Every structure is written in structure tokens, then in C-alpha cells.
Amino acid sequence: MELKQLKTFTTVARLLSFHTAARELHFAQSTVSAQVRDLEAELGVRLFERLGRRILLTDAGERLLEYAQKMLDLDQEAQAELGRAAATEGSLTIRVPESFCAHRLPPVIARFRQALPRVRLSFTTCTHEGLEKDLRKGVTDLAFLLSNSMRAGDLEVEPLAKERLVLVAAPGHPLAAEDRLDLTCLAGETLLISTTDCSYLRIINGILAKQGITPGIVLTFNSIAAIKECVAAGLGLTVIPAVAVEQELRAGKLVALPNDPRASEVTSLMIWHRKKWLSPILVTFLNITRELLGGSGDRHHKRVCATSDSEGTVDSNGEIGDGDL
């Protein structure tokens, strides 16, 4: 196996597309396909299932991905230690909630681009499910969540700052006239939720379940912007980070309802795999994030380590706790 083959393989595995991988690697698609075929022939296994225009990793491909990422990380580490690697080039793949990416990360990205303009950054929307698996395999280098805990396992979880959540509705919604509400107001109400920004909704769902409260119809969207427009049109309610609706609240397009204080705050968490080699590029991104986003009002840059056999959770105070949201 050659490192160039492994790099090509991991890129195809991350993007699940030969065409997109070829474009990112600046190869002809035939070159990418040939390298993967040679690797399959050498190992005597099929690494991808071809399903029409779609591809999926086989079980053998899943296993190789873990080894390949370790080998590529080790190669980078060795080159950096020996002074042959340019610490100003490379790429990072980051999973991040849509609202956090749109309203918190831009100054981080701008500062990072000033420091390392030749590094490629790839941002994907973040859901809670599958996150640890992607971090372990190296498909994702870094992730952010809006939550109050995260199952630790073999992850590093670093709390950054608090984010206020608001329950919002259209100005003409019947609940907008109420002076005091709790989460029982959601019983029977249409609730709009986002698949790209959903980690904090686990908190809301947990509270609702404990109180036996069942919302009415739940509408699921892939866009925060679409949710805000639909709520403004009177289609239902949503729970959303306050920073994502500041303009709409000021303009009177949406109104914030006095929601349950237990569901009014979450923590932004920065997460990476504890066994991953921290390249100079990743360290730069981590440090810039800490400097610009770490702890507005809860200012501590405490890195939380969880051993690989830990089964607890890391809460917003950096403590290992029991259970999950």
C-alpha cells in the first residue's frame, strides 16, 4: 500500500464520491478510480459498493479507513517532527451546527484564513448521531455541538461558552399575548425543528418526555432560514439560539415567548478525538477558537479528557456525569 493510495481512498470515503474526490485532489477521475482498484486488488477485498451513481463503504472499507487515517496521521506527524512538512498547507473537515457556523464561526474562520490562507476548510452540518464514529475514523477532524453534555468515550470535549435559547413564534400567534409560559404550552402545538442544528433539541425533548408533554405535528427542515420564515408565517413554534434570530426579533418579524428556564441555555462544545495527532493546522484552529469564542461569561479554556473506557458524559461545567440527554 502506498500513502498516495491511502490518501485517495480516505478522500473518497469521506466524500462518498469519486468525482468530488478527484476534484478535491486535483486528479482525473480515472486516476482516482485506478488507485482504488489497485488498492482493492492488493488487499483482495472490495472497499466500496457501487450502487448506480452512489457508493458506500463495505465492512472491509470501514476497517481500512481506521487504519488508513492512523497511517496518514503518523506520516504527517513524522514529517512535522522532522521539519519536512509545511505547517501552512493541508485541510480540515469540521462538523458544526448551522446556527453556530453562521453566527459564531465567521470571525474564527477570518482569523484562521489570515494565518493559514492555503489550508482548505470543509464545513458540514452537524447532527449528534454518528459524530463519535466519524471523529474516531478521522473522517471529521473537529466538531462543535450546542448541548449540555456529550457522551465522552475517547473524545476530548472542551466547553466554550453559553448560548441562550429562545422559544419563538409569529407576532400574531395566540401564545404571543401570554405573560408567562412553561413548556406545557407546547402540548398540541406545531413544532418546527432543524436536522442541521438539532443537538440542543435533545434537551427539550428530554424535558417534554419527563413531563409527559406531547407536541402536535413536528415539521423537520434542513435549513434554519426556512424555519424562521415558516414560523414568521404562523406555521408553528421553534426553539432556536437567540443569536440566530436577533435581527428578526428586533424587526418584530418574530417574538420571543417567555419559555421554561430549564431549556433556556446550552453550552457550545468543541470536540475532537483524544488519540488523534493534533497537527499544527488543527492546533491553530483550536487556539483561535478558544481566543475568540471561549467563555463569554463562563470564561475558562478547560480541556476535558475522557479515558477510552469512560461511559459517562461531559457536562457544561467540564464534569463527567452519568447518563445521557
Residue ending a domain, among 85, 112, 146, is 85
Q: Are 211 and 250 in contact (CB under 8 A)?
A: no
Say which CATH number the domain at 234 has. Answer: 3.40.190.290
Residues of the domain holding 175: 163-265
In this structure, the number of other CB atoms found within 10 A of the CB of residue 215 comes to: 18
Q: Which residues contact 130 (CB under 8 A, 6 or more apart)?
A: none
Q: Record the pTM.
A: 0.68
Dihedral sign, Cα of residue 207, residue 232, residue 147, residue 246? negative
Residue 32, C-alpha cell as written in the block? 482516482
CA dist 269 and 162 (Å) reads 9
75 and 168 belong to one structural domain: no
User: Residue 78: inside a domain, yes or no?
Assistant: yes
Alpha-carbon gap, residue 120 to 232, rounded angstroms? 37
Instruction: Tell whether 292 is covered by a domain.
Output: no
Q: What is the CATH number of the domain that holds 10?
A: 1.10.10.10
pLDDT number for residue 146:
87
> Is residue 199, in this structure, part of any structural domain at all?
yes
The total number of residues written for the chain in this structure:
325
Output the pLDDT for position 198: 65
Cell of 324: 445521557
Contacts of 296 (CB under 8 A, 6+ apart): 161, 162
Q: Looking at 36, 56, 85, which one is the last position of a domain?
A: 85
Within-domain flag for 211: yes
Instruction: State phi, psi for 118 to the nearest 5 degrees.
Output: -95, 0
- Could you write out the DSSP letters of every residue in 185-219? GGBT--EEEESSS-TTHHHHHHHHHHHT--BS-EE
59 inside domain:
yes
Structural domain contains residue 27:
yes
In whole angstroms, give the CA distance from residue 200 to residue 289: 20
Give the whole-angstrom CA distance, residue 157 versus residue 207. 24
Domain boundary among 218, 242, 265: 265
Q: Is 194 exposed, middle or buried (0-12, 13-18, 19+ CB in 10 A)?
A: buried
| Pair 175, 237: CB distance under 8 Å | yes
Q: Among candidates 4, 57, 63, 69, which has minimal Cα distance to 32?
A: 4
Helix (H) or strand (E) holding 313: strand 313-315
Could you say which residues of the chain have pLDDT below 50?
Answer: 296-325
Q: Count how many domains the chain has.
A: 2
Q: Which run of H or E residues covers position 270?
A: strand 265-273
**99 inside domain:** no
End-to-end CA distance of the chain: 43
Cβ-contact 149, 321 below 8 angstroms: yes
In a domain, 323, yes or no: no
Q: Which of 175, 186, 237, 240 is nearest to 213 (CA)?
A: 186
